[in-house]
Amino acid sequence: MSIKLYQDVNKYDEGEGPPIVDAFHSAIKERIRALLRESGCSWSEFVFGKSYELLTAEDMKKIDAQVLASGYRYQGFAMISVQERPDAYAPIEGAGGNPDEFSFNHPEAVVSSPDASGKRQCGQGDNVVEHPKNVVGTARYFRSIQDVASALTAGVPASTIAIIDDCGGTLTAPILEQFEGVICAGGTVRSHLGILTREYGIPCVMNAKISDIRNGDRVEVEVSGQAKTTEAYQKGKEMSVRVWKLTR
């Protein structure tokens, strides 16, 4: 059975969304049509009064099971859902294994060979705020509550460049001030995490498409580059800054 993933969502695109979203929308619409036929309820009555009564949590669970049975799978950003419902998610490299072996491997990441100094581009993203110079530090993934709890107990190592998922603003808020910099795999400069790092003065790159960066790697983030503007998002203008792995 083929696996149809929920991934690479561009919130500024027009249309319904990726295949799994279309599948859910179709299943929900079909269920609502059936409920209206069975109850004799009008669309207006459903929307303004009876939707919660007629469309139940049990309906949504059945729809979820139906969509998964058709071969669709989620592609998780945060690991918590993956850990709680592993059968509902496509396999993710490093999930459940050695966290030091995990790395994001985005298909659109710009990757180069090392230059004479051992510096190799491993991706790009949207700079939140322009800083006087690039930030350099040690890459560390924060992908679960357990990661944050461990950092709260043991402390965040100095010069940590946190690599986190799309939900990172809420997840890492208790330790955010201790990061040297942040690389986030989702969102925009207007996301919650972008706003928090801007207020704290922490160098941050959002919507990062990176590859082959693992826990403990030395990285440099081009936060001296121009910050991406709202107009650039609206017009689809490319304003990426680079992320390098330092191999020497």
Closest CA to 201 of 221, 219, 181: 181
Q: Does domain 99-246 have CATH number 3.40.50.2300?
A: no
Q: Residues for the chain: how many in total?
A: 248
- Helix (H) or strand (E) holding 140, with range, is strand 135-142
Closest CA to 156 of 170, 137, 169: 137
Q: What pLDDT shows up at residue 77? A: 67
| Domain locations in the chain as residue ranges | 4-75, 99-246
Q: What is the pLDDT of residues 117-165, one digit of tens each?
A: 999 999 999 999 999 999 999 999 998 888 999 999 999 999 999 999 8
Model confidence, pTM: 0.74
Q: List Cα–Cα distances, 196 to 39, 72, 129, 182, in angstroms.
A: 48, 34, 11, 11
